[in-house]
Chains A and B, each alone.
Chain A
Amino acid sequence: MATLQVELVAVERRIWSGEATMVIARTTEGELGVLPGHAPLLGELAPGGVVTIRVADGEDLVVAAHGGFLSVTEQGVSILAETAEISTEIDVERAREALRRAESASDDDEDALAAARRAQSRLRAAGQAA
């Protein structure tokens, strides 16, 4: 079965790389699934987005990616994010706390809004209701 070579890189380090059968992401235009043989594509991930990587020989890898891009080429898929966290590494309690803090801040505060989005995507990736 054909597989995709997936690279998940954040600015500070490479988070994950390996073979996958499918990548599901949400760009600013909408939800998107990438299978092997997909046409080359560049997309901007939606803020607070979650990326699911269906690993070739294992479970789904759910990642909270912030400020990211998706690049599909013939060689594979690259997901570039400013920060990215794999669901198993996410501290749910801390994310909830961050969300609460961000929501209690004033509505028009851009930083708080961004923080809230990040917290929401972390929670979604961890499989919790946001």
Chain B
Amino acid sequence: MAASLRQLRRRIRSTRSTKKIFSAQELIAGARIVRAQNRVEASKPYAREITKVLSALASSASLDHPLLTERDKPGRVAVLVITSDRGFAGSYNVNVLRRTEELLALLRSEGKDPVLYVVGRKGETYYRFRDRPMVDTWTGFSEQPGYSDAQAVGSTLIDAFTAGEDDDAGNADGVDGVDELHIVYTEFRSLLSQVPVAKRMAPLEVEEVEEFEHEREDATAGSRSTDVPTSYEFEPSAEALLDALLPKYISTRIYAAMLESAASESASRRRAMKSASDNAEELAKNLSRQANAARQAGITQEISEIVGGADALVSSGSDI
């Protein structure tokens, strides 16, 4: 009994110390969510402006840019998966990867050949373990992505996409390109709900800016809200501007996806760490109950042994 009491105490100690680690992780993740949300907010003005500029261009320029036109026979298509670098985030990575598998199955059923581009160490390990080829991977920034990271990813993907233009016509440049770009990331809806989503980035449809325009109208309400579409002058030509702007737009979208994913990652991690530390607390409580019972049983046994011994002595007639 005494040995088991010692074991119980040891387990209580170790449970308590892991609980400390969990709750520290929980606090860190909590702080990171706030920071990640601030970054999402801070990136919105640019996204808003670039979308406005693009829709202005789209109404003026002829839209036969390669990034905007559907290819006749899409063959290889790129899928960019955004996962986290570290685990301890509950079902965050599992959900993204499951969504990716669904997308891959869908693309295959459409007769396309999906190839993987992976952000985050967890995704990388997942596919490497399963011996699935990845074209390119990026790691080391999943919790705090910078725009330069998004740019690196974006330029690789756009290069691949541009190289894919001539694949049907005998692949003149000898580079295996892709005909579509897809992205799988986790959308941050709220602290409690993060949803993995798959979207097509290219060929792209410029997302409508109506919600932004409403905001703008509210801001300038009464003063000079003119709904007449403005006719712009372009410097250089509208086509050249579109050429320069579209790759940046894609990088911006990737950056936004990374920021959302970072916020989701921290939120998942905080939730996972919260339940882990709650469970650890529960376990420690149960264990200390058992330890108390064991200690009490030990004492009771000792007393009954002493009493029994004394009785035996008395009945044998010797002096105590």
A28 CA / B232 CA spacing, docked (Å): 17
Number of cross-chain contacts by CB at 8 Å: 86
A40 at the A/B interface (Cβ < 8 Å)? yes
Q: Report yes or no: A11 in contact with B252, Cβ–Cβ below 8 A.
A: yes
User: Which partner residue on chain B sits nearest A28 by CB separation?
Assistant: B236
Most interface-central of A28, A44, A83 (chain B CB within 10 A): A44
A42 at the A/B interface (Cβ < 8 Å)? yes
User: Which partner residue on chain B sits nearest A43 by CB separation?
Assistant: B235
Instruction: Contacts A11-B43, A13-B42, A28-B236 given; indicate if A75 touches B57 (C-beta within 8 A).
Output: no
A27 CA / B226 CA spacing, docked (Å): 27
Taking CB atoms, residues of chain A closer than 8 Å to B146 are 12
Bitwise, A1-42 to B at CB < 8 A (1) or not (0) is 000000101111110000000000001110010000001111
- Nearest Cβ in chain B — how far from A19, in angstroms? 14
Bitwise, B209-236 to A at CB < 8 A (1) or not (0) is 0000000100010001010001111111
Instruction: Contacts A7-B45, A11-B43 given; indicate if A39 touches B233 (C-beta within 8 A).
Output: yes
Taking CB atoms, residues of chain B closer than 8 Å to A74 are 224, 226, 230
- Nearest Cβ in chain B — how far from A121, in angstroms? 17
A60 at the A/B interface (Cβ < 8 Å)? no
User: Which partner residue on chain A sits nearest B259 by CB separation?
Assistant: A12
Bitwise, B52-85 to A at CB < 8 A (1) or not (0) is 1100110000000000000000000000000000
B9 at the A/B interface (Cβ < 8 Å)? no
- Nearest Cβ in chain A — how far from B147, in angstroms? 4
Partner of A9, one of B45, B224, B234: B45
The tally of residues in B whose CB lies under 8 Å from a CB in A reads: 33
A83 CA / B148 CA spacing, docked (Å): 10
Of B125-133, B171-179, B194-202, B237-245, the one contacting chain A is: B237-245
A52 at the A/B interface (Cβ < 8 Å)? no
Taking CB atoms, residues of chain A closer than 8 Å to B283 are none
Q: Report yes or no: B235 in contact with A29, Cβ–Cβ below 8 A.
A: yes
Taking CB atoms, residues of chain A closer than 8 Å to B151 are 82
A12 CA / B47 CA spacing, docked (Å): 10
If over half of A's interface residues share one DSSP class (helix, strand or loop), that class is named, otherwise mixed; here it is: strand
Taking CB atoms, residues of chain B closer than 8 Å to A82 are 147, 151, 248
Q: Report yes or no: B241 in contact with A44, Cβ–Cβ below 8 A.
A: yes
Partner of B235, one of A10, A32, A73, A75: A32
Instruction: Contacts A9-B46, A44-B236 given; indicate if A71 touches B53 (C-beta within 8 A).
Output: yes
Instruction: Tell me the residues in window 237-263 of chain B with beta carbons closer than 8 Å to chain A beta carbons.
Output: 238, 240-241, 244-245, 248, 252, 255
A74 CA / B49 CA spacing, docked (Å): 14
Taking CB atoms, residues of chain B closer than 8 Å to A7 are 45, 49
- Nearest Cβ in chain B — how far from A67, in angstroms? 7
Most interface-central of B50, B238, B255 (chain A CB within 10 A): B50
User: Which partner residue on chain A sits nearest B42 by CB separation?
Assistant: A13
User: Which partner residue on chain A sits nearest B44 by CB separation?
Assistant: A14
B274 at the A/B interface (Cβ < 8 Å)? no
Q: Report yes or no: B147 in contact with A42, Cβ–Cβ below 8 A.
A: no
Instruction: Contacts A11-B255, A42-B53 given; indicate if A28 touches B235 (C-beta within 8 A).
Output: yes
A-B contacts besides A42-B238, A75-B224, 16 pairs, CB < 8 Å: A7-B45, A7-B49, A11-B147, A12-B146, A14-B46, A28-B235, A29-B235, A40-B232, A41-B235, A43-B235, A69-B241, A71-B53, A73-B230, A78-B53, A80-B49, A82-B151
A residues bordering B, Cβ < 8 Å?
Answer: 7, 9-14, 27-29, 32, 39-44, 67, 69, 71, 73-75, 78, 80, 82-83
22 of the cross-chain contacts (CB-CB < 8 Å) are A7-B49, A11-B43, A12-B43, A12-B146, A12-B147, A13-B42, A13-B45, A14-B46, A27-B236, A41-B235, A42-B53, A42-B233, A43-B235, A43-B241, A44-B244, A44-B245, A69-B50, A69-B53, A74-B224, A75-B220, A80-B49, A80-B50
